[in-house]
Amino acid sequence: MKSHRFWLALPLACAMAASSADVQPQVQAAAPRAAQLPIEGNFPAIDGAVAWLNSPPLSSADLRGKVVLIDFWTYTCVNWRRTLPYLRAWAERYKNVGFVVIGVHTPEFGIEKDIASIRQAATAMQIDYPVAIDSDYRIWNAFNNQYWPALYFIDANGHIRHHQFGEGDYQQSELAIQQLLAEAGSGAVARGLSTVEPSGFELAADWSDLKSPESYIGYARAESFSSPGGAAPDKRHVYAVPARLGLNDWGLAGDWTIGKEAAVLNVAHGRIAYRFHARDVNLIMVPTARGSPVRFRVLIDGQPPGAAHGVDVDSQGNGAVTESRMYQLIRQPKPIADRMFEIEFLDPGVGAFDFTFG
């Protein structure tokens, strides 16, 4: 869960935001407090988008008479990504009986405001339902939203009737869709649940064996940074990885500049090391010069990953940062244990934002 220091295998949400300008760390090991939930009521305005994908601009009034699912997402969020196969399935299954999915893309990081990158991500993820690009947080604030992912279910009369924060409860969500369609008199609504077979990034986390929390690299929210001397914010500095890292400790090696959101590598052969306990290791990265790939090599316990490589790495641990997105670096078979992850960048010019695990 983004912005949380730790969680106990809880598939609740990718992030919690205090406001569009200041996302603050919080600890949460249960469902959100009632005071944090939006008051269910009338369909808030959705006319604050800076652009739309897959549709002309839509308003709440345009959607009156339809059952609407509003989905808040951001394209680097692994928790949201694992809900996507269900969203696609529902959008396709119920599209001819008065149901509309609308994705509201609200960024967490500055890189996620780039419309070309959002469009590229939506195409790669096979998102063909309407997407409102909410880079100014106007729709987010209208809903008083705090989470990625967050789903709001709106009936044909324009009232929010149900919400789901974070991963899971897919059966309850689909039954809510069916109920609202039946109430709207949408004719023969298919019963039973959609068949979904996630894979790759979209496979659910191994919650029973997940002991590593999301870890930000930028100094605004970084925790457990263990390079000697700590961070030198916004300054070039040569870092070293300590001889020993405890579980969920991490460090940098080489010439880096640690900024508020990310660390940027200034000289080739810089490294990041992290001792983790999880099936998957993901890292949000971006090449700082568009069109200039940054090659990297991944090791696990000092060796090429072999069968434990992620979808963005070959068995020898080789890969390249070519665009702004989340990269899956490790997906290891059982048994899961405490392991040492290392990534070495063979070229300068990479921005590293955020580790997530699954």
Is residue 14 very low, low, confident or very high in pLDDT (cuts 50, 70, 90)? low
Place of tokens 């010069």: 289
Confidence of residue 189 (pLDDT cuts 50, 70, 90): confident
Which has more confidence, 200 or 21? 200
Q: How far apart are CA 332 and CA 300, in angstroms?
A: 10
**Does residue 46 or residue 187 have the better pLDDT?**
46
Contact between 29 and 103 (Cβ < 8 Å): no
pLDDT of amino acid 17? 42
CA distance 251 to 224: 8
The segment with the largest mean pLDDT, out of 7-16, 134-143, 181-190, is 134-143
pLDDT digits (tens, 9 = 90+) for 193-207: 999 999 999 999 999
Omega before residue 335 within 30° of 0, cis: yes
Give residue 30's pLDDT: 26
Which tokens belong to 95?
A: 């599209």
More confident residue, 309 or 8: 309
pLDDT of residue 272: 98
Residue 286 has pLDDT above 70, yes or no: yes
Burial class (CB in 10 A: 0-12, 13-18, 19+), 303: exposed
pLDDT classification of 191: cutoffs 50, 70, 90: confident
Residue 4: pLDDT over 90: no
Distance CA 26, CA 24 (A): 6
pLDDT digits (tens, 9 = 90+) for 232-270: 999 999 999 999 999 999 999 999 999 999 999 999 999
Mean pLDDT of the chain: 89
User: Of the candidates 68, 74, 73, which has an alpha carbon nearest to the alpha carbon of residue 43?
Assistant: 68
**274 within 8 A of 263, measured Cβ to Cβ:** no
Q: Minimum mean pLDDT among 26-35, 88-97, 119-128, 171-180: which range?
A: 26-35
**Coil, strand or helix at 180:** helix
Which amino acid makes up residue 305? P
Position 29 scores a pLDDT of: 24
| Overall average pLDDT of the 59-85 stretch | 96
Q: To the nearest whole percent, how much of the chain has pLDDT over 70?
A: 89
- pLDDT at residue 1, rounded to an integer: 33
Q: What is the pLDDT of residue 40?
A: 58
Alpha helices in 5-112, H assignment, sequence order? 78-81, 84-93
Q: Which of 206, 218, 210 is nearest to 247 (CA)?
A: 210
Residue 3: DSSP 8-state: T
Contacts of 357 (CB under 8 A, 6+ apart): 205, 210, 212, 213, 214, 276, 278, 279, 280, 281, 282
Q: What is the pLDDT, as a whole number, of residue 291?
A: 77
The predicted structure's pLDDT at residue 330:
98
187 band by pLDDT with thresholds 50, 70 and 90:
confident
Q: Give me the residue spans of the domains in the chain.
A: 15-202, 211-357
**CA–CA gap between residue 261 and residue 267 (Å, rounded):** 19
Q: What is the pLDDT of residue 2?
A: 39
- Least confident range from 25-34, 111-120, 155-164: namely 25-34
Please report the pLDDT score of residue 331 as a whole number: 98
Q: Which CATH number fits domain 211-357: 1.10.3720.10, 3.40.50.80, 3.90.730.10, 2.60.120.260?
A: 2.60.120.260
Whole-number CA gyration radius for the chain: 21
- Short-list 69, 81, 131, CA closest to 105: 131
Fold adopted by 15-202: Glutaredoxin (3.40.30)
